[in-house]
A and B are shown apart, each in its own frame.
Chain A
Amino acid sequence: MDFSDTPQEAEYRARARDFLDAHKDKLPSLSGSEAARLKKQRIWQAIKADNGYACITWDSEWGGAGGTAMERVIFREEEAGRGVPDAFFGIGLGLCVPTIIKYASDKQKAELVRPAVRGDQIWCQLFSEPAAGSDLAGVRAKAVADGDEWVVSGQKVWTSGAHYSDWGLVITRTDPSKPKHKGLTMFFVAMDSPGIEIRPIHQMSGGVEFNEVFFNDVRIPDAQRLGEIDAGWGVAIYALMNERVQGGKERGIPAGETIRLARSTPVADGTLADDGAFRAAFADWYVRTRGVQLTRYRTLTAMSRGQTPGPEASIGKLVTAFELQEMSRRLVEAQGPFGLIDDRAMAFCEGNVHHDLLHAPGIRIAGGTDEILRNIIAERVLGLPKEPQPDKNVPFSETK
């Protein structure tokens, strides 16, 4: 049991710090318009790729650095410590491109992987539909074979980043006469293909980060099919498994800052930091968020011993999203009526806590809702009975 860096890790951390210090003026931040932030992140991503800090765990063949998962975490810790957001490339590099590496042809990989690693090309995930979210196997967007092409029509929704993406991973229904999981096929598609129409969706948090994506007879070459025809469910599972391993980033303001904020918040007789109810709630919040971090180090240790992380990695987001929501509310609420003001110029922490409060509901939904994550833990870790699925073995065309 050793929590400190090994000599190699310490050396890696020192090198990462030197690298970050040497590129101080190139580090992206959270401020500015989406376009401005994206531009800066792209430049930064390319610098990282040139120096072996992009996709640290991937083979050099793919533009990675052949490093360990621990090195990836160390670099990210140092990067995050300097305020660099983890934005724009997460879905592509965490989920889509690993799927390309597993399922695409060598020629396609040679063309697609490096530009994604460098941030020159961005990927989005076209899975969810109006009638298929948690129950992803319910997708209806249909793909019909036509020579060596497929013609796709239907609607995707909640597609994060579709509006700045070059490529998308899209799951379609190819055989509605088969049961729902058995008639799906996965493709990748150029987002500028004729017939793709992207409409922004305004989020409750005020941002416009996701979209509806309409497919109006979009032609996709059969060569862009990933996996066998009607075997797309397995491909989707593979993609989502990668998402889980990635997941669980730090969110919200750090513990020390939370207390300082509480110290500066007046309540009836003293400050919020003197209030017993707040102190107790803080302690519970602290052990849970810290517990998630520490659990991730256990996972890393398991990986460094050659084990594959299982579904237990699901606990991260389940805990942190809810804790973020409740702690932000607590901090904001303690301000009294003044807490309602979320003008960044007036609100504490430049309004970041208010922003978290409005953002947290989305985190509890995206990438598997709280309930779905609990199902996963209950079924796959504890071995409890699976949810009843009355439509599982019924031809999809006959389901509701």
Chain B
Amino acid sequence: MNFDFSEDQEMLRKEVRKFLEARCPLTRARKVLDDSEASFDVELWEELVGQGWTALSIPEQFGGLGMSRTDLCVLAEELGRVLAPVPFASTVYILAEALMIAGDGVQKDKLAEIAAGDCIGCIAISEGPGEPSFERIGSRVERGRLTGTKQPVTDGLAATDALVWARDESGTPRLFLVPLEQDGVTREKLDTLDPSRDAARIVFDGAAAEPIGAPWLLDRLLDGAAVLLAFEQVGGADRAMEQAVAYAKERYAFGRPVGSYQAIKHTLADAYVNNQIARSNAYYGIWALDSGSDDLAQAAAAARVAACHAYWFAAREALHAHGGIGFTWEADQHLFYRRALQLDMVIGSPRMWRERLFEQVEAQGEKMKAEAS
């Protein structure tokens, strides 16, 4: 048992935090939020690429740095703290993972492009209201051509390549790799609850698409993304809470700091508890991911359920603890409030993940019982 980051990883965190504090104040997220044209912060993205962050977890033979996913989640937490408005998760936690797990020889060439910052990914699952499901999926691929509409696609405008969930010729839903700069792809910006993150409607009308991986790949990718996003969420939740704590110490009402009133104090204590619970579940998740444990599906669902809850609670209550100021456009609290919602829904809402968790715990309980008897 060694259930924490290593010294090297703490060193990495220090460097990453220092870099992001200098290069990515919250004004970066705000700039994208305020600019109706921008889909992400191109300059920041280039700097992250320059730091080698998109290359971090890619094996050396594909032009990466060959570090572990546990190293990667150090970055995730720090990017979450600063609300980095870049397509990092879509590219690194999802597209790169898909290529590493299931890419064929040629597809894997894209990994070097990701490492070099030339390829940006996105994953296109959702089509309309409701959780994406086998029954409702309408996109399909016939003779290598994709038709269908996906919305919202996070990072859909920035991306060069998409992973698209669609039916193959036999009707089985699976993932397809689709270059986005081609005829037969139309993209349109969508307004969402979190304009500091890019979201698009993508219409595919006979776009060239090649299958990647077996049908189970999607679940495996979502599990991995759930864990890494949980670290972004924990980072954001901690920062939101810290801001509220700082404010509650300084702001006076009725002759006392508002943080001395238990309604505020206890709520912030609860946020701390939630964040710790989320952090611990995320640690177990990253261990399961990195060690290739059978427990991954369960660990990932637990990490996601805990992280969604923690971030929403912290962002909601941190805003509230700021009073009227917290409700202004100028204050930063709504950036966290919005990002909490974005991360809450982006790969399926907590509702779906609670379901997955229940199924996993039940399956595991039965397995253990069978082994015991």
Q: Which residues of A contact B (CB under 8 A)?
A: 1-6, 9, 70, 255-257, 259-260, 273, 279-280, 282-284, 286-288, 290-292, 294-295, 297-298, 300-302, 304-305, 312, 315, 318-319, 371, 373-375, 377-379, 381-388
Task: From B1, B262, B280, B305, give the contact of A283 (CB < 8 A).
Answer: B305
Chain B residues, CB < 8 A from A305: 4
Per the bound structure, the CA–CA distance linking A255 and B305 in Å amounts to 16
A16 to chain B: closest CB distance in Å?
A: 15
Main secondary structure of the interface of A (DSSP, over half): helix
Chain B residues, CB < 8 A from A388: 256, 260
Per the bound structure, the CA–CA distance linking A291 and B282 in Å amounts to 9
Which B331-368 residues sit within 8 Å CB-CB of chain A? 351, 353-355, 357-358, 361-362, 364-366, 368
Report whether A297 and B3 are in contact in the complex, using a CB–CB cutoff of 8 Å: yes
Task: From A273, A291, A373, give the contact of B281 (CB < 8 A).
Answer: A291
Chain B residues, CB < 8 A from A283: 301, 305, 353-355, 357-358
With contact pairs A256-B369, A298-B4, A385-B259 given, residues A290 and B273 touching in the complex (Cβ less than 8 Å): no
Per the bound structure, the CA–CA distance linking A305 and B2 in Å amounts to 9
Which of B13-21, B57-65, B133-141, B284-292 lies at the interface with chain A? B284-292
Report whether B2 and A279 are in contact in the complex, using a CB–CB cutoff of 8 Å: no
Report whether A3 and B284 are in contact in the complex, using a CB–CB cutoff of 8 Å: yes
Report whether A256 and B365 are in contact in the complex, using a CB–CB cutoff of 8 Å: yes
Task: From B249, B276, B291, give the contact of A291 (CB < 8 A).
Answer: B276
B362 to chain A: closest CB distance in Å?
A: 5
Task: Kindly state whether residue B270 has any CB partner on chain A within 8 Å.
Answer: yes
Task: From B268, B276, B281, B365, give the contact of A384 (CB < 8 A).
Answer: B268
Chain A residues, CB < 8 A from B362: 256, 259, 273
With contact pairs A283-B358, A374-B270 given, residues A297 and B1 touching in the complex (Cβ less than 8 Å): yes
A249 to chain B: closest CB distance in Å?
A: 17
Per the bound structure, the CA–CA distance linking A91 and B306 in Å amounts to 33
* Minimum CB distance partner of A283 in chain B: B354
Report whether B357 and A287 are in contact in the complex, using a CB–CB cutoff of 8 Å: yes
A13 to chain B: closest CB distance in Å?
A: 11
Task: From B1, B291, B354, B364, give the contact of A301 (CB < 8 A).
Answer: B1
Per the bound structure, the CA–CA distance linking A300 and B1 in Å amounts to 9
Chain B residues, CB < 8 A from A383: 245, 249
Task: Kindly state whether residue B165 has any CB partner on chain A within 8 Å.
Answer: no
Report whether B280 and A1 are in contact in the complex, using a CB–CB cutoff of 8 Å: no
Per the bound structure, the CA–CA distance linking A353 and B366 in Å amounts to 21
Report whether B260 and A385 are in contact in the complex, using a CB–CB cutoff of 8 Å: yes
Report whether B4 and A1 are in contact in the complex, using a CB–CB cutoff of 8 Å: yes
Task: Kindly state whether residue B265 has any CB partner on chain A within 8 Å.
Answer: yes
With contact pairs A2-B287, A256-B364, A256-B369 given, residues A287 and B5 touching in the complex (Cβ less than 8 Å): no
Task: Kindly state whether residue B50 has any CB partner on chain A within 8 Å.
Answer: no
Q: Which of A284, A286, A300, A387 has the most CB of B within 10 A?
A: A286
With contact pairs A259-B362, A291-B277, A315-B273 given, residues A279 and B1 touching in the complex (Cβ less than 8 Å): no
With contact pairs A2-B287, A280-B354 given, residues A288 and B270 touching in the complex (Cβ less than 8 Å): no
Q: Which of A319, A371, A382 has the most CB of B within 10 A?
A: A382
Task: Kindly state whether residue B248 has any CB partner on chain A within 8 Å.
Answer: yes
Report whether B280 and A298 are in contact in the complex, using a CB–CB cutoff of 8 Å: yes
Per the bound structure, the CA–CA distance linking A255 and B354 in Å amounts to 14
Chain A residues, CB < 8 A from B70: 1
Task: Kindly state whether residue B283 has any CB partner on chain A within 8 Å.
Answer: yes
Contact with A along B265-280 (1 / 0, CB 8 A): 1101110110011111
Per the bound structure, the CA–CA distance linking A365 and B269 in Å amounts to 18
Chain A residues, CB < 8 A from B361: 255-256, 259, 282, 286
A288 to chain B: closest CB distance in Å?
A: 6
With contact pairs A1-B286, A295-B276 given, residues A384 and B1 touching in the complex (Cβ less than 8 Å): no
Task: Kindly state whether residue B302 has any CB partner on chain A within 8 Å.
Answer: yes
Task: Kindly state whether residue B28 has any CB partner on chain A within 8 Å.
Answer: no
Chain A residues, CB < 8 A from B368: 256
16 residue pairs of the A-B complex, CB under 8 angstroms, read A2-B291, A3-B3, A6-B1, A256-B366, A279-B354, A283-B353, A283-B354, A283-B358, A284-B309, A287-B302, A295-B279, A298-B4, A378-B272, A379-B265, A386-B260, A388-B260
* Minimum CB distance partner of B357 in chain A: A283
Report whether A374 and B269 are in contact in the complex, using a CB–CB cutoff of 8 Å: yes
Report whether A3 and B1 are in contact in the complex, using a CB–CB cutoff of 8 Å: yes
Task: From B2, B248, B265, B306, give the contact of A2 (CB < 8 A).
Answer: B2
Per the bound structure, the CA–CA distance linking A103 and B212 in Å amounts to 68
With contact pairs A1-B287, A255-B361, A256-B364 given, residues A287 and B306 touching in the complex (Cβ less than 8 Å): yes
Task: Kindly state whether residue B257 has any CB partner on chain A within 8 Å.
Answer: yes
Report whether A377 and B1 are in contact in the complex, using a CB–CB cutoff of 8 Å: no
Task: From A1, A287, A302, A377, give the contact of B273 (CB < 8 A).
Answer: A377
Per the bound structure, the CA–CA distance linking A70 and B1 in Å amounts to 8
| 6 residue pairs, one from A and one from B, having the closest CB atoms | A256-B365, A291-B277, A283-B354, A294-B280, A385-B260, A377-B269
B63 to chain A: closest CB distance in Å?
A: 26
With contact pairs A374-B270, A384-B249 given, residues A284 and B365 touching in the complex (Cβ less than 8 Å): no
Per the bound structure, the CA–CA distance linking A218 and B1 in Å amounts to 49
Report whether A315 and B276 are in contact in the complex, using a CB–CB cutoff of 8 Å: yes
Per the bound structure, the CA–CA distance linking A256 and B2 in Å amounts to 26
Chain B residues, CB < 8 A from A378: 259, 265-266, 268-269, 272
Chain A residues, CB < 8 A from B260: 384-388
With contact pairs A371-B262, A382-B272, A384-B265 given, residues A255 and B365 touching in the complex (Cβ less than 8 Å): yes
Task: From B248, B269, B283, B366, give the contact of A1 (CB < 8 A).
Answer: B283
Report whether B284 and A374 are in contact in the complex, using a CB–CB cutoff of 8 Å: no
Per the bound structure, the CA–CA distance linking A342 and B2 in Å amounts to 43
Report whether B276 and A1 are in contact in the complex, using a CB–CB cutoff of 8 Å: no
Q: Which of B248, B354, B368 has the most CB of A within 10 A?
A: B354
* Minimum CB distance partner of A381 in chain B: B272
Contact with A along B234-255 (1 / 0, CB 8 A): 0000000000010011000000
Chain B residues, CB < 8 A from A294: 3, 280-281, 283-284
B279 to chain A: closest CB distance in Å?
A: 8
* Minimum CB distance partner of B248 in chain A: A384
Per the bound structure, the CA–CA distance linking A325 and B147 in Å amounts to 52
Chain A residues, CB < 8 A from B249: 383-385
Report whether A301 and B270 are in contact in the complex, using a CB–CB cutoff of 8 Å: no
Chain A residues, CB < 8 A from B3: 1-3, 294, 297-298, 300-301
Task: Add 5 more A-B contacts to A5-B1, A284-B305, A295-B277 (CB < 8 A).
Answer: A1-B5, A284-B309, A384-B248, A385-B249, A385-B259
Chain B residues, CB < 8 A from A371: 262, 266
Report whether A319 and B365 are in contact in the complex, using a CB–CB cutoff of 8 Å: no
Report whether A385 and B287 are in contact in the complex, using a CB–CB cutoff of 8 Å: no
Per the bound structure, the CA–CA distance linking A319 and B273 in Å amounts to 8
Which B113-138 residues sit within 8 Å CB-CB of chain A? none
Chain B residues, CB < 8 A from A382: 245, 268-269, 272
Per the bound structure, the CA–CA distance linking A375 and B265 in Å amounts to 7
* Minimum CB distance partner of A282 in chain B: B358
